[in-house]
């Protein structure tokens, strides 16, 4: 829709922006939300998945989500990564979208995505979602911006302690890459012109299992209300390790450490899971319209962990 | 310069790094690839890049360099692909706008499947996952499942099938041309400048800076003559330029001064006493219209609230006092509840679009319209042109659902720009315009009280509806409750609540689904309290003969007989079964005419009617073919042009009932004329006498106009007769003002839905849907089934997913993209059983009435009742999203 006022104040020269698959960039560029010209990087880096002797994978930033979703060795070693990749966007988008682009993608907040509305992530000084309609907003209110981080892969990588190497920094954790949720003007900590090169996953643990699920209203192809990637190691019927990373609930993907701790050493059964799931919302600060996300989060914890302890 | 290969042909790619692949493809004339959402959600723009399906609306054109692209035009160009044949045979399409994208994806899936799995049949789940990146608003999913499964299993490797839909071949090959695909020589692109604020007076509009931009051919003002803006997105001006990019630049150059006025957004805020008034008394006639029929009697206004409008009440005072008494006495049978339905957008995949061109003094306008003939009349009137100087054309229309029934802004802008520019101009809404300013079914608050008598009859009913109509009037929801379940007294009151939001518009059975949502849940609740079977109670309360038969069918369904006691389940997943009833008026349009001719030995049927995916061509072809022992493909059907004999609009489900009867009359005339002019009789013993006579006939033509219906059997009356004298008045007005007749007999539907609720994740899934329909004889059975299926899935969208979201203070529509306005996908389609009861309309020549609207009326209420059955809690507000489900299960109010 062409409206009379655009907030994108014509700066002298908008900073150019990398474009990998373009599945996020193209839409913003056409709508006028983002004004920087594209710097095409689709041939400027690695698409490969390589493995070291310990069985740890290194994924090039330009590897597509479809590659990650269908790679047999990834599915065997990191089932939570594979399942997350299989569950996001649509088949056609996954073919083109890259892992680097997924991590660096911009917010899907419906105010942010309109060229004619200003907000903290643009040049504005207030967040219209906070005072307005934040139905899909965060339930852990950690900073001035109330939009959840959009990256499904970031949550999965967080569950796996993955690290990111850019052309300027190495071994960044996901928290290092995306910040702690208090930053509102950006969706990551990348400096202008800083390029993600690869993502390293530690070798999987013996006997670990993992899974992923999102809560949505339709069956497929919908941005998650809440999503969860979980890894467990179960021995003698007890949880030896529980790793839970949730998306859709906070400005950055969140580790649910209280639940992880509560389950450590506990019997892997539905009673202990149900009890520990309650801790998933500790530290939550829902907005007026987002209390439901806490119910969904608890439901997801139970769903995913029950399936993993079957 | 880089190149790519498109369907085997080397093609240059533009150097512009911002160029997107879809524009390269479409600008190159390959218009089978459609632009719908522009954001990767709907899949309509899908093409194969080195054999892999990708969305061309997001792919930089440069990414195709050195690669090979296949568009829909490249599939089946040397013989149809099995998937295309299967789509044709299974009628896996309606309007066809989504079809090229689905075909591309399905051929890739099919080819991969066959290479690894031979002729095994893929499961529904496998097909749904593969096609999860595609959306179809008509809801052709049922046919798509069947088509893909059977193509994979090798059933369509052989010869081309006969399609039940006449134009199916053009739609599966991408050759069907829609308005957005029209490309005249020298055609310009028009863009509309819209308001950014919800309420303002505009002064100092200066179009000159836009005119000064090179490449701009015309700029016209579109502001109403009061210079007022009453909603975000209200039109201000329009520009025609050599391309969209230039037009957008010109739009940005236009200057004006908005004097902001206080705005009020939505139903609740606009009803407050201190709310700013949207339409002052003198401006009220400027409000839009959300109804299909004429505006009724004058109605009073108070602030932003227009009403009460209660022509269909019956002993309202009596109803009120009985209900008050029951309330006071704490009568346990008294059902009282406030329901809320939300705003539903039409979301047709083809946007509102028009291409206008002046050829001397002849105006030719392609419009994506539901009313060819009427649009011609209205355009002629507006611009003072004789009818024969205006030609409206719509060969194919990519969905409408009620939103394309009048001459819209896209058409006016295109005509005015074309006139000013002296060149053809196309105006096509973008997706955000489509999902915000192109109309919607208004949300509403519905207060209902229902009182059974001690003998178990329906004693009193009160329904008060406040509709969230934005900048429009004329909602009719509560009044529709008069025409079903006779009671001793009914108080039925409708209000429009106007606010600074875009105007609502008619949408498939306008107030029907909201009315049903409240009433059918109340009847269900009454049955629970009375401890009687809900179908049995409806059989008692509802006297309509068509629905009586449908109740018997529903009561006999295994899913109904085997249902668990209501609210008895406690596990995570709970299943429930619900029933609901719906009706719609049987309408036909006076003056609808059909010409039948023999031209060069072939039968040609002509009518200025349009096919918006409902199958008008096939309905006419089948009717003619049957009479002459021909195949439908032997009949050439000419529609979609206003210079043909006047036909009906596609609204009020009136096309079939308006077109079939005059076709039958014309058939009789043509038969007589063939015999009269025949030079010799057919060969004795010929098994195709008509075919022979037609082949040998000289060119002749006859035509016929819609005749009156025959005498209905006793007890079969027009639905409006239930409403006494006011109903008759309403009927007369409709006939006089809108040329629509409400005929005898009531098109009806009874639906049974089985749902599963995941109480942990708040997810509702419709597992099985059973839809029983009494709409007379089926003029095109497979297409009627497609309509029934599409209506159910649209109803599921209404019940579970769809809602418009706005910013409560600025009035911006936030759900302006297809990721935020959520229409159902293929995996959301339940297993479906369709039951047609073909009796009840024998007095209609041909015996057929419309299906489109009645089939969607009860879906949301049947789902609501099924959820109540599953979880023991009644949700009163749609859509039943996860946030509402988890809140209801916790006994909390949802946000
Ligand atoms: C319909 C739809 C549904 C979706 N659903 C989901 C979902 O459920 N979950 C989810 O996570 N995502 C979802 N997405 C988003 C999608 O996953 C991202 O758009 C995609 O992963 C981005 O990758 P890209 O290569 O296309 O990035 P681009 O669009 O090319 O770039 C995105 C951003 O990342 C930057 N960037 C790209 N590569 C690099 C790099 N190597 N280094 C530094 N910066 C870089 C770009 O500058 C740009 O700002 C969905 C998208 C669509 C269209
Ligand atoms: S939530 Fe964040 S992205 Fe959305 S409007 Fe507020 S600041 Fe902007
Ligand atoms: S138009 Fe490209 S996905 Fe909808
Ligand atoms: S046939 Fe799919 S949108 Fe009309």
One domain for residues A43 and A192: yes
Question: Per-residue pLDDT for B109 more than 90?
Answer: yes
One domain for residues B334 and B375: no
Q: Domain range holding A254?
A: 208-309
Q: Please give the pLDDT value at position B583.
A: 97
* Helix, coil or strand: residue A306: helix
Task: Count Cβ–Cβ pairs < 8 Å, chain A vs chain B.
Answer: 199
Phi then psi for residue A306, to 5 deg, are -65, -40
What residues of chain B, 194 to 223, have a C-beta less than 8 Å from chain A? 194-196
Is residue B628 in a domain?
Answer: yes
Is residue B717 in a domain?
Answer: no
Q: Which of B627, B585, B363 has the alpha carbon at shortest distance from B484? A: B585
One domain for residues A81 and A166: yes
Is residue B894 in a domain?
Answer: no
Question: How would you class A184 by CB atoms within 10 Å of its CB: exposed for 0-12, middle for 13-18, buried for 19 or more?
Answer: middle
| SS3 of B310-377 | CCCCECHHHHHHHHHHHHHHCCCCCEEEEEEECCEECCCCCCCEEEEEEECCEEEEEECCCCHHHHHH
Neighboring chain A residues of B891 at a CB cutoff of 8 Å = none
Alpha helices of B739-778 — where are they, by DSSP H? none
Q: Please give the pLDDT value at position B63.
A: 97
CA-to-CA dists, residue A145 to A118, A131, B260, B806, angstroms: 13, 11, 28, 19
One domain for residues B597 and B705: yes
End-to-end CA distance of chain B: 55
Interface contact B812-A114, CB threshold 8 A: yes
One domain for residues B333 and B468: yes
Q: Please give the pLDDT value at position B480.
A: 96
Q: Please give the pLDDT value at position A4.
A: 67
One domain for residues B491 and B547: no
One domain for residues B254 and B399: yes
One domain for residues A189 and A168: yes
| Structural domains of chain B, count | 6
How is chain B split among helix, strand and coil, in percent rounded to 5?
35, 25, 40
Question: Per-residue pLDDT for B202 more than 90?
Answer: yes
One domain for residues A179 and A86: yes
B260 touches A at CB < 8 Å: no
One domain for residues B581 and B601: no
Strand partners, B363: B358, B390
For B368-427, what is each residue's pLDDT tens digit?
999 999 999 999 999 999 999 999 999 999 999 999 999 999 999 999 999 999 999 999
Which residue lies with its CA nearest to atom 8 of ligand 2?
A119
| Structural domains of chain A, count | 2
| Number of residues assigned to chain A | 310
One domain for residues A155 and A298: no
How confident is the model over B488-510, as a mean pLDDT?
A: 97
Question: Per-residue pLDDT for A89 more than 50?
Answer: yes
Phi then psi for residue B324, to 5 deg, are -65, -40
Q: Domain range holding B274?
A: 270-346+440-525
Question: Per-residue pLDDT for A8 more than 80?
Answer: no
For B294-330, what is each residue's pLDDT tens digit?
556 789 999 999 999 999 999 999 999 999 999 999 9
Interface contact A91-B132, CB threshold 8 A: yes
One domain for residues A189 and A265: no
One domain for residues B542 and B499: no
Least CB–CB distance from A292: residue in B192, B814, B887: B887
**Which of B525, B543, B560 is where one domain is finished?**
B525
Contact B37, B345 (CB under 8 A): no
User: How far apart (Å, rounded) are the C-alpha atoms in residues B239 and B248?
Assistant: 8
- The CA angle B354-B290-B428, to the nearest 5 degrees, is 15
How confident is the model over B802-823, as a mean pLDDT?
A: 97
ipTM for the complex?
0.97
How confident is the model over B577-583, as a mean pLDDT?
A: 98
Domain with residue A189: its CATH number is: 3.30.465.10
Neighboring chain B residues of A3 at a CB cutoff of 8 Å = 193-196, 232-233
Is residue B729 in a domain?
Answer: no
Question: Per-residue pLDDT for A11 more than 80?
Answer: no
User: How far apart (Å, rounded) are the C-alpha atoms in residues A139 and A294?
Assistant: 7
User: Scanning every residue of chain A, which has its alpha carbon at the shortest distance from the alpha carbon of B895?
Assistant: A289
Q: Please, what's the b/e burial string for A63-102 (b: 16 or more CB within 10 A of its CB; e: otherwise)?
A: bbbbbbbebeebbebbbbbbbbbbbbbbbbbbbbbbbbbb
User: How far apart (Å, rounded) are the C-alpha atoms in residues B263 and B248?
Assistant: 27
Domain with residue B328: its CATH number is: 3.30.365.10
CB atoms under 10 Å from CB of B570, counted, come to: 9
The two structure tokens encoding residue B341: 């339905």
Residue found by looking up tokens 């021995």 in the block: A235
Is residue A19 in a domain?
Answer: no
Is residue A136 in a domain?
Answer: no
Give the pTM: 0.97
Interface contact B129-A220, CB threshold 8 A: yes
User: How far apart (Å, rounded) are the C-alpha atoms in residues A160 and B819?
Assistant: 29
At A7, is the pLDDT very low, low, confident or very high (cuts 50, 70, 90)? very low
% of chain B beyond a pLDDT of 90: 94
Interface contact B17-A96, CB threshold 8 A: no
Phi then psi for residue B235, to 5 deg, are -75, 145
Is residue B715 in a domain?
Answer: no
One domain for residues B145 and B129: yes
Is residue B444 in a domain?
Answer: yes
Neighboring chain B residues of A119 at a CB cutoff of 8 Å = none
- The CA angle B548-B551-B553, to the nearest 5 degrees, is 115
Is residue A269 in a domain?
Answer: yes
Is residue A288 in a domain?
Answer: yes
One domain for residues A183 and A94: yes
> What atom of ligand 2 comes closest to residue A134's alpha carbon?
1
One domain for residues A91 and A236: no
Domain with residue B96: its CATH number is: 1.10.150.120
Q: Please give the pLDDT value at position B894.
A: 73
Q: Please give the pLDDT value at position B715.
A: 86
For B35-90, what is each residue's pLDDT tens digit?
999 999 999 999 999 999 999 999 999 999 999 999 999 998 889 999 999 999 99
Output the average pLDDT for chain A: 96
**DSSP 8-state symbol, B89:** H
Is residue B16 in a domain?
Answer: yes
Is residue B297 in a domain?
Answer: yes
Alpha helices of B511-637 — where are they, by DSSP H? 512-530, 534-541, 545-555, 558-561, 616-627
At A6, is the pLDDT very low, low, confident or very high (cuts 50, 70, 90)? very low
One domain for residues B254 and B335: no
Please tell me which residue, B577 or B737, carries the higher pLDDT value: B577
Interface contact A132-B233, CB threshold 8 A: no
**Which of A179, A201, A223 is where one domain is finished?**
A201
What residues of chain B, 397 to 436, have a C-beta less than 8 Å from chain A? 430, 432-433, 436
Q: Which of B481, B416, B401 has the alpha carbon at shortest distance from B446? A: B481
Q: How many CA atoms lie within 13 A of B699 on its CB side?
A: 2
Which residue lies with its CA nearest to atom 6 of ligand 2?
A127
User: How far apart (Å, rounded) are the C-alpha atoms in residues B404 and B517?
Assistant: 25
For B181-190, what is each residue's pLDDT tens digit?
999 999 999 9
One domain for residues B109 and B55: no
Domain with residue A232: its CATH number is: 3.30.390.50
User: How far apart (Å, rounded) are the C-alpha atoms in residues B612 and B852?
Assistant: 11
Q: Which helix (H) or strand (E) holds B735?
A: helix B724-738
**Which of A162, A178, A201 is where one domain is finished?**
A201
One domain for residues B401 and B468: no
Question: How would you class A32 by CB atoms within 10 Å of its CB: exposed for 0-12, middle for 13-18, buried for 19 or more?
Answer: middle
Which residue lies with its CA nearest to atom 51 of ligand 1?
A89
B756, B883, B889, best to mutate vs chain A, most A CBs in 10 Å: B883
One domain for residues A215 and A266: yes
One domain for residues B222 and B124: no
Neighboring chain B residues of A228 at a CB cutoff of 8 Å = none
Neighboring chain B residues of A6 at a CB cutoff of 8 Å = 252
- The CA angle B154-B826-B398, to the nearest 5 degrees, is 95
**DSSP 8-state symbol, B806:** B
> What atom of ligand 3 comes closest to residue B34's alpha carbon?
1
For A71-85, what is each residue's pLDDT tens digit?
999 999 999 999 999
One domain for residues A155 and A286: no
Is residue A254 in a domain?
Answer: yes
Spacing, Cα A181 to ligand 2 middle (Å): 12
Cβ(B95) to ligand 4 under 6 A?
Answer: yes
Is residue A161 in a domain?
Answer: yes
Which residues contact residue A134 at a Cβ distance below 8 angstroms, ignoring those fewer than 6 apart?
A146, A287, A288, A289, A290
Is residue A290 in a domain?
Answer: yes
For A43-68, what is each residue's pLDDT tens digit?
999 999 999 999 999 999 999 999 99
Spacing, Cα B779 to ligand 4 middle (Å): 21
One domain for residues A165 and A247: no
For B260-284, what is each residue's pLDDT tens digit?
999 999 999 999 999 999 999 999 9
Neighboring chain B residues of A248 at a CB cutoff of 8 Å = none
User: How far apart (Å, rounded) are the C-alpha atoms in residues B341 and B290?
Assistant: 16
One domain for residues A99 and A230: no
**What is the four-CA torsion angle of B419, B420, B424, B428, rounded to 10 degrees?**
-100
B815 touches A at CB < 8 Å: yes
Is residue A140 in a domain?
Answer: no
Longest dimension (CA), chain B: 85
């Amino acid at each position: 829709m062409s409206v009379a006022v655009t907030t994108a104040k014509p700066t002298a020269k908008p900073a150019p922006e990398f474009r990998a698959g373009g599945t996020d960039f193209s839409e913003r560029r056409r709508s006028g939300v983002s004004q920087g010209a594209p710097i095409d990087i689709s041939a400027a880096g690695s698409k490969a998945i390589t493995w070291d002797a310990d069985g740890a994978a290194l994924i090039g930033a330009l590897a597509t989500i479809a590659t990650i979703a269908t790679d047999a060795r990834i599915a065997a070693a990191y089932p939570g990564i594979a399942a997350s990749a299989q569950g996001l966007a649509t088949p056609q988008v996954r073919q083109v979208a890259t892992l680097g682009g997924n991590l660096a993608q911009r917010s899907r907040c419906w105010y942010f995505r309109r060229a004619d509305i200003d907000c903290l992530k643009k040049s504005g000084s207030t967040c219209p979602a906070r005072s307005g309609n934040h139905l899909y907003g965060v339930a852990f209110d950690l900073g001035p911006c109330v939009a959840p981080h959009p990256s499904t892969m970031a949550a999965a990588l967080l569950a796996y302690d993955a690290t990111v190497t850019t052309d300027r920094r190495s071994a960044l954790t996901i928290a290092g890459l995306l910040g702690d949720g208090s930053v509102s003007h950006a969706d990551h900590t990348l400096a202008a012109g800083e390029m993600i090169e690869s993502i390293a996953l530690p070798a999987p643990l013996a006997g670990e299992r993992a899974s992923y699920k999102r809560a949505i209203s339709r069956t497929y192809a919908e941005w998650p209300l809440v999503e969860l990637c979980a890894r467990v190691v179960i021995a003698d019927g007890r949880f030896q390790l529980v790793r839970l990373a949730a998306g859709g609930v906070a400005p950055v993907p969140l580790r649910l450490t209280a639940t992880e701790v509560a389950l450590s050493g506990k019997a892997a059964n539905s009673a202990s899971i149900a009890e520990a799931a309650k801790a998933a919302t500790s530290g939550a600060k829902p907005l007026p319209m987002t209390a439901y996300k806490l119910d969904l989060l608890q439901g997801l914890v139970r769903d995913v962990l029950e399936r993993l302890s079957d | 310069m880089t190149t790519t290969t498109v369907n085997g042909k080397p093609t240059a790619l533009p150097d512009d790094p911002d160029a997107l692949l879809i524009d390269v493809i479409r600008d190159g004339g390959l218009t089978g690839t459609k632009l719908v959402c522009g954001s990767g959600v709907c899949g309509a723009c899908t093409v194969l890049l080195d054999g892999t399906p990708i969305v061309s609306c997001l792919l930089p054109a440069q990414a195709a360099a050195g690669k090979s692209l296949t568009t829909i035009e490249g599939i089946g160009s040397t013989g149809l692909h099995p998937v295309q044949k299967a789509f044709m045979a299974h009628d896996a399409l309606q309007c066809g706008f989504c079809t090229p994208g689905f075909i591309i994806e399905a051929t890739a899936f099919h080819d991969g499947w066959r290479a690894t799995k031979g002729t095994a049949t893929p499961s529904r789940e496998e097909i749904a996952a593969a096609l999860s990146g595609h959306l179809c608003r008509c809801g052709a999913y049922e046919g798509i499942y069947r088509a893909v499964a059977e193509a994979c299993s090798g059933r369509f490797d052989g010869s081309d099938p006969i399609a039940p839909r006449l134009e199916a071949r053009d739609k599966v090959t991408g050759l069907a041309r829609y308005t957005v695909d029209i490309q005249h020589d020298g055609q310009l692109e028009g863009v509309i400048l819209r308001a950014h604020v919800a309420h303002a007076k505009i002064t100092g509009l200066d179009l000159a800076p836009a005119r000064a931009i090179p490449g701009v051919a015309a700029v016209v003002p579109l502001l109403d003559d009061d210079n007022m803006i009453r909603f975000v997105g209200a039109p201000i001006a329009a520009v025609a330029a050599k391309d969209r990019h230039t037009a957008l630049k010109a739009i940005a150059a236009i200057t004006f001064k908005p004097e902001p006025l206080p705005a009020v957004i939505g139903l609740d805020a606009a009803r407050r006493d201190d709310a700013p008034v949207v339409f002052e008394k003198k401006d009220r006639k400027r409000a839009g219209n959300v109804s299909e029929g004429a505006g009724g009697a004058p109605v009073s206004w108070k602030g932003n609230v227009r009403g009460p409008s209660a022509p269909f009440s019956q002993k309202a005072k009596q109803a009120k006092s009985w209900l008050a008494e029951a309330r006071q006495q704490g009568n346990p049978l008294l059902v009282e509840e406030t329901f809320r339905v939300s705003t539903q957008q039409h979301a047709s995949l083809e946007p509102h679009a028009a291409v206008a061109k002046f050829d001397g003094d002849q105006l030719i306008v392609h419009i994506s319209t539901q009313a060819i003939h009427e649009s011609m009349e209205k355009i002629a009137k507006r611009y003072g042109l004789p009818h024969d100087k205006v030609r409206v054309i719509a060969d194919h229309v990519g969905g409408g659902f009620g939103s394309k029934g009048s001459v819209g802004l896209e058409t006016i802008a295109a005509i005015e720009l074309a006139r000013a520019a002296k060149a053809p101009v196309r105006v096509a809404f973008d997706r955000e315009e489509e999902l915000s300013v192109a109309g919607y079914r208004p949300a509403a608050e519905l207060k209902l009280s229902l009182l059974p008598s001690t003998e178990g009859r329906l004693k009193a009913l009160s329904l008060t509806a406040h509709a969230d109509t934005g900048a429009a009037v004329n909602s009719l929801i509560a009044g529709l409750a008069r025409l079903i379940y006779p009671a001793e007294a009914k108080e039925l009151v409708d209000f429009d609540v106007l606010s600074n939001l875009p105007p609502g518009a008619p949408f498939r059975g306008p107030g029907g689904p909201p009315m049903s949502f409240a009433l059918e849940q109340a009847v269900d609740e009454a049955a629970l309290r009375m401890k009687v079977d809900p179908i049995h109670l409806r059989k008692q309360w509802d006297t309509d003969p068509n629905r009586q038969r449908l109740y018997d069918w529903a009561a006999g369904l295994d899913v109904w007989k085997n249902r668990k006691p209501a609210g008895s389940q406690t596990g995570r997943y709970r299943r429930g079964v619900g029933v609901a009833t719906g009706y719609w008026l049987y309408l036909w349009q006076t003056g609808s005419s059909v010409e039948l001719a023999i031209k060069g030995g072939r039968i040609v049927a002509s009518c200025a009617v349009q096919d918006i995916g409902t199958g008008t061509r096939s309905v006419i072809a089948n009717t003619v073919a049957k009479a002459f022992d021909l195949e439908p493909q032997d009949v050439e059907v000419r529609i979609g042009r206003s210079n043909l004999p006047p036909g009906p609009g596609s609204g009020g489900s009136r096309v079939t009932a308006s077109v079939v009867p005059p076709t039958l009359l014309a058939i009789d005339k043509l038969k007589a004329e063939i015999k009269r002019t025949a030079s010799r009789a057919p060969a004795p013993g010929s098994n195709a006498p008509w075919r022979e006579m037609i082949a040998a006939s000289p060119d002749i033509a006859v035509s016929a106009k819609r005749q009156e219906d025959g005498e209905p059997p006793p007890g079969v009356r027009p639905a409006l007769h239930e409403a006494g004298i006011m109903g008759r008045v309403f009927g007369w007005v409709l006939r006089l003002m809108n040329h629509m007749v409400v005929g005898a007999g009531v098109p009806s539907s009874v639906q049974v839905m089985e749902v599963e609720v995941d109480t942990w994740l708040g997810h509702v899934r419709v597992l099985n849907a059973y839809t029983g329909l009494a709409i007379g004889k089926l003029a095109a059975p497979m297409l009627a089934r497609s309509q029934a299926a599409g209506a159910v899935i649209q109803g599921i969208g209404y019940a579970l997913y769809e809602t418009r979201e706005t910013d409560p203070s600025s009035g911006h529509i936030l759900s302006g993209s297809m990721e935020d306005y959520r229409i159902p996908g293929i995996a959301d389609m339940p297993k479906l059983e369709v039951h047609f009861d073909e009796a009840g309309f024998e007095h209609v020549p041909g015996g057929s009435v419309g299906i489109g609207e009645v089939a969607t009326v009860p879906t949301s209420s049947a789902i609501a009742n099924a959820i109540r059955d599953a979880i023991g809690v009644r949700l009163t507000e749609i859509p039943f999203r996860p946030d509402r489900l988890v809140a209801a299960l916790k006994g909390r109010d949802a946000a």
